[in-house]
């Protein structure tokens, strides 16, 4: 049997590996001349930059794919666990080192902010409890086939989650919960930041998202020794080694369906005006654009697709002619008025004059990413998705804001240190990755029901058509996208009666 995957983003690659290991002859068609989707790279003038995601958590979602394929992940995908998660900088000069170890982190926060360290330990314990209650239900299982929840193992977890539903804290916003639990303004801001991990607003998103800190301080944050781009490229090499065929610069223009035994069935795709047939079609394209472009004759699920989209990003890739010992791999320079910043992003649809600035510097751990004595700065701010703003006007304004902020907080003029520059804005994100409106994570999580309002990993109208990637369940980011690939493989196995590994 054959399977076709539309799009070579991280979820598409993961799905292709799983399908190939299940016995399908798998082909992947990608519109770009490169694989990896957002997990690509930029190389210019001696500097290398990871173009997209910069935080690596839940590495088992990657290493499980190697084990599934019968390979030792340590031989193909080396990575290290970070001892420091991030460096945080505030306008008044407060500096916080976010140690990976919870107790060391609590002591750091107690010393710098004058708080009880046990407050942090309790908060992180609550985050861990949220993860334990929700991970298997929301991240590893489709929510759209209720019969799956009747399986004994999963049914027990559902019953347990319902019994402890108060701990999920979905009736309060993240900010409301954090103010009640943490109180100190800087501490609240620091933990509110985790809403941005899926492009949401902490003043609207449910406090259930406080599950995210556990990924870093409970499970750990990591760094692939070859950089983030190595995640996608090592998996592409694995896929090719197992027999998956990738076709680049080969955009799919339509998903072909036929009426068979009274049901609409996906039977192939059109690529360069040629029909490619398969028993299974997996779409890794943003689900909004998939319906508009690839399924023009299929009625789209408007209620789901019209949900508000997540934020986007404006990224400057700067080669910096200096090293900064006070900076680490992950660095955050906070806005003085976080609520106003998010109001500008989600209400005013523009850029705040004092944005929170994130800098990722992979040369701290991979020195050959920059010339000697230099650093490669991935400089990002959260911005609204693309709704027709004048980006040509906003980008230079934002650049001025960022340079002024960093120069002030690092006590040195940054502009003269920029040796090379590339820019990626929401328009470019939309163009390069087919992400609707340049939204990084599909729909936002700015309401308590967001987890239930993502598109399913399968079509309930078209048999043998499946969806993976950040725009569908369970959500955006590397771990969740790879979760979606596993969910798709499980659904295909169920639909085709195939026994598969639990990995």
Across the beta sheet with 263-271, the strand order is 252-260, 263-271, 274-277
Any domain includes 283: yes
Q: Are 327 and 97 in contact (CB under 8 A)?
A: no
What is the reported pTM? 0.95
Specify the pLDDT at position 310: 96
Q: Give how far the C-alpha of residue 427 lies from the chain's centroid of Cα atoms, to the nearest Å.
A: 18
Any domain includes 33: yes
| pLDDT beyond 80 at 154 | no
- The stretch 222-249 carries a mean pLDDT of 98
Q: Hey, which residues does 443 pair with through a beta bridge?
A: 309
| Digit-coded pLDDT (tens) for 377-425 | 999 999 999 999 999 999 999 999 999 999 999 999 999 999 999 999 9
Rounded mean pLDDT of the chain?
95
| pLDDT beyond 90 at 14 | yes
| pLDDT beyond 90 at 155 | no
| Digit-coded pLDDT (tens) for 264-288 | 999 999 999 999 999 999 999 999 9
Any domain includes 271: yes
- The stretch 233-240 carries a mean pLDDT of 98
Q: Are 139 and 219 in contact (CB under 8 A)?
A: no
Any domain includes 421: no
Any domain includes 166: no
Specify the pLDDT at position 158: 84
226 SS3 class: coil
Tokens found for residue 240: 């090719």
Specify the pLDDT at position 458: 97
pLDDT above 90 covers what percent of the chain?
87
What are the Cα distances from residue 355, in Å, to 194, 337, 380, 404, 437? 16, 9, 10, 11, 21
Any domain includes 105: no
Residue ranges making up the domain that contains 262: 2-40+58-71+228-308+444-496
Give the residue among 132, 126, 96 at the shortest CA–CA distance from 112. Answer: 96
| pLDDT beyond 90 at 143 | no
Q: What is the CATH number of the domain that holds 487?
A: 3.50.50.60
Q: Hey, which residues does 360 pair with through a beta bridge?
A: 330, 378
Specify the pLDDT at position 305: 86
pLDDT above 70 covers what percent of the chain?
100
| pLDDT beyond 80 at 187 | yes
pLDDT confidence tier of residue 451, bands split at 50, 70 and 90: confident
Gap between the Cα atoms of 472 and 480, Å rounded: 10
Widest distance between CA atoms in the chain: 71
Any domain includes 351: no
Give the residue among 246, 287, 232, 238 at the shortest CA–CA distance from 26. Answer: 246
Say how many domains are in the chain: 1
| pLDDT beyond 90 at 450 | no
| pLDDT beyond 90 at 144 | no
| Digit-coded pLDDT (tens) for 107-118 | 999 999 999 999
Any domain includes 472: yes
Whose tokens are 């009666």? That residue is 497
Q: Give yes or no for a cis peptide into 389 (omega within 30° of 0).
A: no
What is the torsion angle, in degrees rounded to the nearest 10, for the CA atoms of residue 11, residue 14, residue 18 and residue 21?
A: 150
């Amino acid at each position: 049997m054959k399977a076709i995957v539309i799009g070579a983003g991280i979820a598409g690659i993961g799905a292709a590996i799983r399908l190939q290991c299940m016995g399908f002859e798998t082909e992947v068609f990608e519109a770009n001349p490169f694989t990896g989707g957002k997990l690509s790279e930029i190389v210019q003038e001696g500097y290398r930059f990871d173009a997209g995601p910069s935080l690596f958590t839940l590495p088992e979602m990657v290493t499980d794919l190697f084990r599934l394929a019968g390979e030792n992940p340590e031989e193909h995908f080396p990575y290290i666990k970070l001892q420091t998660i991030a460096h945080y900088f505030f306008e008044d000069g407060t500096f916080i080192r976010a140690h990976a170890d919870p107790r060391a982190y609590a002591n750091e926060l107690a010393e710098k902010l004058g708080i009880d360290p046990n407050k942090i330990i309790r908060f992180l314990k609550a985050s861990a409890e949220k993860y334990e209650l929700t991970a298997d239900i929301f991240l590893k299982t489709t929510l759209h086939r209720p019969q799956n929840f009747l399986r004994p193992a999963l049914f027990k977890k559902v019953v347990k989650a319902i019994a402890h539903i108060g701990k999920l804290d979905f009736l309060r916003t993240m900010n409301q919960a954090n103010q009640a639990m943490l109180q100190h303004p800087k501490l609240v801001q620091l933990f509110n930041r985790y809403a941005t991990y899926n492009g949401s607003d902490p003043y609207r998103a449910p406090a259930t998202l406080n599950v995210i800190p556990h990924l870093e301080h409970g499970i750990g944050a990591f760094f692939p020794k070859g950089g983030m781009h190595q995640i996608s490229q090592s998996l592409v090499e694995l896929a090719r080694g197992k027999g998956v065929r990738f076709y680049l610069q080969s955009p799919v223009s339509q998903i072909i369906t036929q009426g068979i035994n009274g049901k609409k069935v996906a039977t192939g795709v059109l690529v360069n005006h040629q029909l490619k047939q398969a028993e299974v079609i997996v779409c890794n394209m943003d689900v909004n654009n998939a319906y508009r472009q690839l399924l023009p004759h299929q009625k789209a699920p408007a209620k789901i697709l019209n949900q508000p989209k997540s934020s986007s990003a404006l990224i400057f890739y700067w080669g910096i002619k200096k090293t900064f010992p006070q900076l680490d791999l992950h660095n955050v320079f906070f806005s003085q008025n976080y609520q106003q910043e998010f109001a500008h992003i989600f209400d005013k649809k523009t850029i705040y004059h004092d944005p929170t600035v994130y800098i990722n510097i992979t040369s701290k751990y991979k020195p050959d990413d920059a010339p000697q004595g230099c650093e490669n700065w991935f400089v990002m701010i959260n911005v609204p998705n693309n709704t027709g703003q004048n980006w040509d006007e906003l980008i230079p304004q934002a650049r001025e804001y960022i340079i002024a902020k960093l120069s002030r907080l690092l006590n040195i003029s940054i502009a003269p240190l920029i040796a090379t520059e590339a820019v990626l804005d929401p328009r470019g994100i939309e163009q390069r990755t087919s992400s609707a409106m340049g939204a990084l994570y599909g729909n936002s999580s700015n309401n308590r029901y967001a987890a239930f309002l993502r598109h399913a990993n399968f079509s309930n109208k078209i048999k043998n058509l499946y969806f993976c990637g950040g725009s569908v369940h369970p959500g955006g980011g590397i771990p969740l996208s790879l979760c979606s690939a596993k969910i798709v493989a499980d659904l295909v196995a169920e639909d085709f009666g195939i026994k598969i590994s639990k990995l």
